[in-house]
């Protein structure tokens, strides 16, 4: 790992939040997961993968399963793209263990969701992040997703976290565009990734450095078009692609987010498999609807 004080420009771009393939018994399907990774690299042309996030059904997995997925992703992607490992957990010891594990594997950065469920105060949250990143020679990206964690942080609180130079940015999965604009102005040298695929255009206009999204597993090409057109000031063209993207996202959400993306990947010949219980299995009706969605947009 190079000095963690290195510039962060190498991490900018479009990242798929990696899906994980599970078999009928809920076990990790290694071959299917490798196929999802290759699809993202070869067809979606992403700049990187965000491994171990919500999209990877991470919070339903054991520590050993998480480690195996991190290994699979690194082994398959090697150095073709950038890799970010989401290691966050309510179990801080596990988070540190995974931070060390993925750093040793050669991940380009780690990320950690804000600790959730319990009503942690900010000092506890700050301790959590500093403990994780100070345990390794790596860089950390905060994963802020208030609608799932219930943790809303202020501009001043982000500023406190960013005092640690090894904390290089944030995956910003929130609809607070005022806070996003304030962050962009206040922290020009920190990375900000848009986390809501359906709001990518306004986030890019406000100056994000890239985006991390679930739907990029199937819609990565359009995501890049939106990002690059908006950066070039071609807002009308970007808006038209965002309209199509949001029609697609609406149809996916109406049918079940992860189930539908996986079923759409199956239409591409990728063995994306099933979701992990307690998520339900994809029904024949859901699979049929996913096939219709795939045909409509691709």
In 10 A of CB 90, how many CB atoms?
A: 14
- Angle at which helices 216-231 and 30-42 pack, to 10 degrees? 20
Q: Could you give the CA distance from residue 263 to residue 291 in angstroms, rounded to a whole number?
A: 7
DSSP, residue by residue, 279-291: SPPPPHHHHHHHH
- Angle at which helices 155-162 and 177-186 pack, to 10 degrees? 40
- Point out the annotated binding site for pyruvate: 55, 212
The yes-or-no answer on residue 143 being catalytic is yes
- Point out the annotated binding site for aceneuramate: 54-55, 173, 195, 197-198, 214
Q: Could you give the CA distance from residue 247 to residue 192 in angstroms, rounded to a whole number?
A: 25
- CA 94 to centroid of chain Cα atoms: 20
Please tell me which residue in 15, 143, 166, 262 is annotated as part of the active site.
143
Q: Give yes or no for a contact between 193 and 15, defined as CB atoms under 8 angstroms apart.
A: yes
The yes-or-no answer on residue 166 being catalytic is no
Q: Give yes or no for a contact between 242 and 259, defined as CB atoms under 8 angstroms apart.
A: no
Tokens describing residue 261: 């993306």
Burial of 105 (0-12, 13-18, 19+ CB in 10 A): middle
Please tell me which residue in 166, 171, 190, 262 is annotated as part of the active site.
171
Active-site residue list: 143, 171
């Amino acid at each position: 790992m190079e000095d963690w004080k290195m510039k962060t420009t190498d991490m900018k771009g479009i990242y798929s939040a990696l899906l994980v393939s599970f078999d009928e018994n809920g076990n990790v399907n290694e071959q299917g997961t490798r196929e999802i990774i290759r699809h993202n690299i070869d067809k979606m042309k992403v700049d990187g993968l965000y491994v171990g996030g919500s999209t990877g059904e991470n919070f339903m997995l054991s520590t050993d399963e998480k480690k195996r997925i991190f290994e699979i992703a690194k082994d398959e992607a090697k150095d073709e793209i950038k890799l970010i490992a989401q290691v966050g957990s309510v179990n801080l010891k596990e988070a540190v263990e995974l931070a060390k594990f993925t750093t040793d594997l050669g991940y380009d950065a780690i990320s950690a969701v804000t600790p959730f469920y319990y009503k942690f105060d900010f000092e506890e949250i700050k301790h959590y992040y500093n403990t994780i990143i100070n345990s390794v020679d790596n860089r950390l990206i905060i994963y802020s997703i208030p609608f799932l964690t219930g943790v809303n942080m202020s501009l001043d609180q982000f500023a406190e976290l960013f005092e640690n130079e090894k904390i290089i940015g944030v995956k910003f999965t929130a609809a607070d565009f005022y806070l996003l604009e304030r962050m962009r102005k206040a922290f020009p040298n920190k990375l900000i990734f848009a986390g809501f695929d359906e709001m990518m255009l306004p986030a890019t206009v406000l100056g994000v450095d890239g985006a991390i999204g679930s739907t990029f597993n199937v819609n990565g090409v359009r995501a890049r078009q939106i990002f690059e057109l908006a950066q070039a000031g071609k807002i009308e063209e970007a808006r038209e692609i965002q309209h199509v993207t949001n029609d697609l996202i609406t149809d996916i959400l109406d049918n079940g987010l992860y189930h539908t993306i996986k079923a759409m990947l199956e239409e591409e010949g990728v063995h994306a498999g099933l979701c992990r219980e307690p998520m339900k299995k994809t029904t024949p009706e859901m699979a049929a609807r996913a096939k219709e969605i795939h045909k409509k947009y691709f």
